[in-house]
Amino acid sequence: MDFLQQIGYAGLNSRIKRLSDELLYSTRDYYKNAGLNIEPNWHLIFLLLEKHNSLTITEISQELRMSHPACVKIINKMKKKNYIETKTDKNDSRKQLLELSEKSKNKLPNLHKHWDACIETTKELIENSPNFMQELTEFEKLVADKNYNERTIENVKEL
Amino acid sequence: MDFLQQIGYAGLNSRIKRLSDELLYSTRDYYKNAGLNIEPNWHLIFLLLEKHNSLTITEISQELRMSHPACVKIINKMKKKNYIETKTDKNDSRKQLLELSEKSKNKLPNLHKHWDACIETTKELIENSPNFMQELTEFEKLVADKNYNERTIENVKEL
DNA sequence: TAATTATTTGTAACTGGTTACGTAAATATT
DNA sequence: AATATTTACGTAACCAGTTACAAATAATTA
């Protein structure tokens, strides 16, 4: 029983962060061991561009609900390693249309093999937690409706 | 329904990260709005040093199950703002004994007021998720027993 | 049409973690 | 007692997000 568990509700946010970090770093180990020359957070970009063929930074950041500078950073790394190609939109020169490169398309079958293994692992980890996905969704919904900051302001009791 | 939810198990790790980030940044907003001049991740250090009076970097990193360089970074910031004082252990000059400063002790009542509000918020967020804490604990236990990397290696199906 | 506003993308500076490596002190071994 | 190993702490370089600001283009409004 570790300290974060001992302190109950006070430790929940940090436990979620700790778990998130553990999963991220362990996934990175896996990618490295498997000889994949990609970062874990490229996964979703691959999936999105596989599905939509061509997207802009703004569209990706909306799909993933992540800030656009975060997406820019990921995309730049992927471009540097030739996983993504860009062209400027003909009708709106501000927009950069992003597409998977040939290199990416060639690698996708192998990548999917590993992503499938990840899915199996995830299933394994929550197979005895039948409510986890649903309750996580509820959690996401609640913080989307009113965030932690706003809720806590209302919960402060002035001394 | 966003993309991460659409893709089911494949999106779980990223959803946990996204939630973790959202909670972290929103908590930082709260601290800022409340005029507290501290970072969210100092919380656990305060609680630990309140409980144990004096701890070393190594002990803190073990209690929190976090790398020691991460703890060093946090502690250095807290020292820079005079929340923590250090003295060298008389019996082992490698060890730095960390203690809360007078400034910290004076601020603790006010800090606890806000931390209590955070606890209320957390309760609010999971009040309709009666299994969340328990299933999270199970999740933590499973990845501690065998991490995501090791599990996924076993789940790969060679083509 | 000219001026204002909004959108898209990029950059800088910040927080928050990790692993890998180095140094000094303590402990164990020979 | 001298040498080797372990422990404690610190630093550097990396990944992954955020907010705030800036510049260029597009869209709207006066």
Mean pLDDT by runs of 10 across the 159 residues of chain B is: 94 98 97 95 97 96 97 97 96 96 96 97 96 97 96 89
Could you give the C-alpha distances from A5 to A84, A91, A141, B133, B141, in angstroms and in order?
A: 42, 55, 24, 9, 11
B115 CA vs D28 C1’ separation (Å): 47
Q: Is the residue at B153 inside a domain? A: no
Are both A112 and A53 inside the same structural domain?
yes
Q: Is the sign of the CA dihedral A16, A17, A21, A22 positive or negative?
A: negative
Q: Where are the alpha helices (DSSP H) in A34-100?
A: 43-52, 57-64, 68-80
Q: Is the residue at B110 inside a domain? A: yes
Are both A71 and A142 inside the same structural domain?
yes
CATH of the domain at B76: 1.10.10.10
Q: Is the residue at B131 inside a domain? A: no
Q: Which of residues 23-82 of B touch A (CB under 8 A)?
A: 23-24, 26-27, 29-30, 33-34, 40-41, 43-44, 47-48, 63-66
Domain of A12, in residue numbers: 1-33
pLDDT for residue A157: 87
> Comparing C-alpha atoms, which of B63, B155, B23 is closest to residue A114?
B155
Nucleotide nearest residue B59, measured CA to C1': D8
Are both A49 and A110 inside the same structural domain?
yes
> In order along chain A (159 residues), what is the average pLDDT of each group of 10 residues?
94 98 97 95 98 96 97 97 96 96 97 97 96 97 96 89
Are both A3 and A75 inside the same structural domain?
no
Question: Taking the CA atoms of chain B, what radius of gyration do you get in angstroms?
Answer: 19
Are both A104 and A73 inside the same structural domain?
yes
Q: Is the residue at B28 inside a domain? A: no
Q: For chain B, first and last CA: distance in Å?
A: 33
Determine, for residues A132 and B133 on separate chains, whether the beta-carbon distance falls below 8 Å: no
Q: Which of residues 94-133 of B touch A (CB under 8 A)?
A: 109-110, 113-126, 128-129, 131-133
User: Which protein residue's Cα is closest to nucleotide C12 at C1'?
Assistant: A69
pLDDT for residue A112: 97
pLDDT for residue A159: 65
Residue B88, H or E segment: strand B84-88
Q: Is the residue at B91 inside a domain? A: yes
Number of domains forming the structure of chain A: 2
Are both A98 and A129 inside the same structural domain?
yes
A74 CA vs C8 C1’ separation (Å): 17
Determine, for residues B121 and A156 on separate chains, whether the beta-carbon distance falls below 8 Å: no
Are both A132 and A99 inside the same structural domain?
yes
Are both A55 and A98 inside the same structural domain?
yes
Are both A17 and A87 inside the same structural domain?
no
